[in-house]
A = this chain, B = another copy of it.
Amino acid sequence: MKLHGYFRSSTTYRMRIALNLKGLDYEVVPVNLLHSEQKDAAFTSRNAFGSVPMLEAGGRDRAQSMAMLEWLDEAYPERPLMPAGIEDRYTARELAYAIATELHAPLNLPVLKYLKDPLGHDQDTVSTWYRHWLARTLDPLEARLAQLGTGDFLFAAPGFFEAVLLPQVYNARRFTFDFSNKPHISRIESACLTMSEFQRANPDNQPDNPEFSGHERNPT
């Protein structure tokens, strides 16, 4: 498999976590979003959406990270990302899709760029926007985790939900989002960051990160 992506892209980070949790080997192919390489014809001819991640796997080029996550569990049933029972699967999806459908897009690079140009807003306004939408999904998400009595992970082991949550938390911390009233999310974050599968997936440890030292750091 080849994972075409960008170290800081939260959807690429999702895929790295998921592939690591499933124990699947993959080669990383960097696509520099700051140079708009995802809009090059060589790339869009393979992925019409012009977005990362793109996963070369099973004889085709795949776009859309949530569809890839669902596909990985169907194509490679070993080490499932999703719990076994229908009701638990619903719960995993409810929380993961809250992030993927409500939170991801307003925080995505193209939207942030549009706020600056053409809309003319400054970085402070963009950062306030960012934290506004974070709170709007992470507040009820924290409430749901409390209702569910969640421990270190949503279920016995991290999977579908944690693969979607951790990249969003990483980005939130870059925007100095306050997690002091998010004990459940913070506990899940801490538990995941002790695991090699998450450490190896971390943006800080990717070869295309200009700040990467060549030695993996424990991001806790």
By a beta-carbon cutoff of 8 Å, the part of chain A in contact with chain B is 44, 48-51, 58, 60, 62-64, 66-68, 70-71, 74-75, 86-87, 89-90, 93-94, 96-98, 100-106, 108, 110-111, 114, 119, 121, 125, 129, 132, 136-137, 140-141, 143-144, 147
Contact = CB atoms under 8 A, between A and B. Distances in A.
Nearest to A146: B48
A59 to B, nearest CB: 9
B71 A86 contact: yes
A84 to B, nearest CB: 11
Contacts of A119: 119, 121, 125
B49 A67 contact: no
A66 B97 contact: yes
B98 A101 contact: no
Interface centre among A104, A108, A111 (most CB of B within 10 A): A111
A90 B105 contact: no
Given A104-B105, A105-B105, A143-B48, A94 B136 contact: no
A64 B93 contact: yes
A192 to B, nearest CB: 21
A108 B111 CA distance: 14
A111 B44 CA distance: 28
How many copies of this chain? 2
Contact of A90 (B67, B90, B140): B67
B74 A147 contact: no
Contacts of A70: 70, 89-90, 93
A96 B89 CA distance: 19
B86 A75 contact: yes
A220 to B, nearest CB: 28
A90 B71 contact: yes
Nearest to A59: B87
Contact of A67 (B74, B97, B103, B140): B97
Contacts of A63: 94, 98
A105 B67 CA distance: 17
A87 B45 CA distance: 20
